[in-house]
Amino acid sequence: MKFTAVINKEGKLYVAWCPELDIASQGKDVEEALANLKEAIELYLEDEDAELPENAPLLTTIEVGDVKAARGIGT
């Protein structure tokens, strides 16, 4: 299974958050925060009743072309 990890620096710590499951963890660096989040997700999913919430956000990435080059189109 793949989940999204959103990482923010808060003070001296990094906080990693999984929006699909609304689970967060922290660490002294990005790698530790991600490792801790992975462990938290695995523990959550061990619960037999664990399910993705119906209103789980759907996330994706999009690519945007060179805006400056696009301005010249059609002029």
Query: Does 41 reside within a domain?
Result: yes
Helices (H) and strands (E) counted in the chain, each on its own, are: 2, 3
Residue at 1 is within a domain: no
Instruction: State how many domains the chain has.
Output: 1
Tens digits of residue pLDDT in 10-46: 999 999 999 888 999 999 999 999 999 999 999 998 8
CATH of the domain at 13: 3.30.160
Say how far residue 68 (Cα) sits from the centre of its chain.
30
Residue 12 inside a domain? The answer is yes
Evaluate whether residue 38 is within a structural domain: yes
- Domain hosting residue 11, numbered range: 6-50+59-71
What confidence category does residue 49 fall into, taking pLDDT thresholds of 50, 70 and 90?
confident
